[in-house]
Amino acid sequence: MSKTNPALPDNHIARLQNAIRQLNHCESKYVATVFVSETFLSFQKERLWQGEVTIFEIYGHAQAQRAYAWFNRRSDKNTRYVVVLEVPPINSPETAVQAAIAAQIVNGTFR
């Protein structure tokens, strides 16, 4: 399996699978990694987030069969793992990123 972004660590898929396991208590299988860029549709079209989202099939979860996962390096040098399950209305990597941004805005942790 080749990396789409050479800046990603070699074991990023295993790290994301571990996050899925810890957060959702289910196993996963790598499907693909895609690039997502989310912008705020205003006059200036401000970019809110961009990066690689990794898609996984998941097994053993009651509601979801797919998960979208990525990580962000924070200014404090810590890594924040994000896992969004494919349950309606989440149906793509883009809607997973949108949901994660919305959740961060609501809980006051966005930027």
Domain boundaries defined on the chain:
12-107
Q: How far is CA 4 from the centre of its chain?
A: 15
Lowest pLDDT segment from 34-38, 60-64, 75-79, 94-98: 75-79
Q: What is the mean pLDDT of the chain?
A: 87
List Cβ neighbours of 33 (8 Å cut-off, separation of 6 or more): 3, 4, 5, 52, 53, 54, 55
Residue 111: is its pLDDT beyond 70? no
pTM: 0.84
What is the rounded CA–CA span in Å between residue 57 and residue 36?
A: 19
Residue 4 has a pLDDT of 54
Name the one residue in this structure whose structure tokens are 């494919």. 86
What is the rounded CA–CA span in Å between residue 39 and residue 98?
A: 10
List Cβ neighbours of 50 (8 Å cut-off, separation of 6 or more): 35, 36, 37, 38
Per residue in 21-74, pLDDT (tens digit) is 999 999 999 999 999 998 876 556 677 889 999 999 999 999 999 999 999 877
